[in-house]
Amino acid sequence: MQVSSLQTAALLQQATADNGDEASQLQAKQEVAKQLEGVFISMLLKQLRESLDEGMFGSEKSDTLGAMFDMHLGDHIAKNSNLGIRQVVLSQLSSPQQQGTRS
């Protein structure tokens, strides 16, 4: 799932809003955390791929194809595994200290 930064910003705003609907806030927080984990994994895969001497796909198009592959694989890993990043982000978004810093 490819998500734009505007969609992520809207989800984060919904997750931290004081609208009283805790179920939708929790769902938005979980989605933001999942997206952040996917982006982190994609960036990690990109750096690993760039450390190779030659491209994974063996042509000049390897940068574009590799980037698309990194993003897809990062989203897939974030959706289907538990690296722990999502839980850390959720705990930060849900912490009482974070609630008190909003104006």
Tell me the C-alpha to C-alpha distance, in Å, between residue 72 and each of 2, 22, 68, 89.
8, 30, 6, 21
Name the band, by pLDDT with cuts 50, 70 and 90, for residue 3. low
CA distance 96 to 36: 21
> Where along the chain do its domains lie?
5-101
Task: Check pLDDT > 70 for residue 103.
Answer: no
Q: Which two tokens stand for residue 13?
A: 């705003």
- Triad 93, 30, 37: Cα angle to 5°: 90
Does pLDDT of 97 surpass 70?
A: no
Q: What is the pLDDT of residue 4?
A: 60
When computed from its CA atoms, the radius of gyration of the chain, rounded to whole angstroms, is 17
CB of 28 closer than 8 Å to CB of 15: yes
Confidence of residue 1 (pLDDT cuts 50, 70, 90): very low
Whether the per-residue pLDDT at 57 is higher than 70: the answer is: no
